[in-house]
Structure 1
Amino acid sequence: MQEVGEIMHLAGSGRVIIQLSTELVEGQILCDEKGTRVAKVNELIGPVSRPFASATPLTNNIKKYIGKNVFASQESPANKPKKFRRRKN
């Protein structure tokens, strides 16, 4: 896993704000150091030199992760190609 940033705070909308140290894509799944899925990136905001990410929490107890580093999940829906099923007649 690659470290991508630090969770800064919980916004009023319920999303977490993450200060990024590396570039991410929208839809990327973020994990803690143990591999627990913590958040999913919704949008990238802020300056290009040091961007922030707004992410939806994937855990009920997101407050314990504030101030901790997050890592990019290797298996992410943002990186996987979509699989389409053929319709059978």
Structure 2
Amino acid sequence: MHLANSGRVIIRLRRPLEEGDYICDDSGRRIGRVTELIGPVAAPFASAISLTNNIKKYVGSNVYFLEEPVMKRNKSRRYRR
């Protein structure tokens, strides 16, 4: 991982991801969300938005992505009685 001047996190990928996938640490805590894929197809990079204030702690370490989708709540039914 590398922290860009824009505040985004640049991640070197070993396999392709999709935009919107979540990046997590060893414990499974979500630390970022992929916004775009950049670079050549043979050696891609991902640009991600940080979801934590202390992203500098993860720079230089290995990160993973969540394979299972996160369940989304339907907010329109949340306040319905």
Q: Does the TM-score normalized on the shorter chain lie above 0.5?
A: yes
Structure 2 segments unaligned to the other structure (5+ residues): 77-81
| Number of residue-to-residue matches in the alignment | 78
Q: CA RMSD in A?
A: 2.3
Structure 1 residue ranges (4+ consecutive) displaced by more than 6 angstroms after TM superposition: none
Of Structure 1 and Structure 2, which has the larger fraction of its residues in strand?
A: 1
Give TM-score, length-normalised by structure 1: 0.75
Structure 1 segments unaligned to the other structure (5+ residues): 1-6
Deviations 1:6-48 (A, max 9, x none): x1x1111110000000110000001001011111000000010
Of Structure 1 and Structure 2, which has the larger fraction of its residues in helix?
A: 2
Give TM-score, length-normalised by structure 2: 0.82
Identify the residue that residue 67 of structure 1 maps to in structure 2. 60
Query: Sequence identity, in percent?
Result: 56
Identify the residue that residue 26 of structure 1 maps to in structure 2. 19
Whether the aligned pair in 2 keeps the contact of 1:29 and 1:76 (CA below 8 Å) is no
Higher-RCO chain (CA-CA 8 Å, sequence separation at least 6): 1
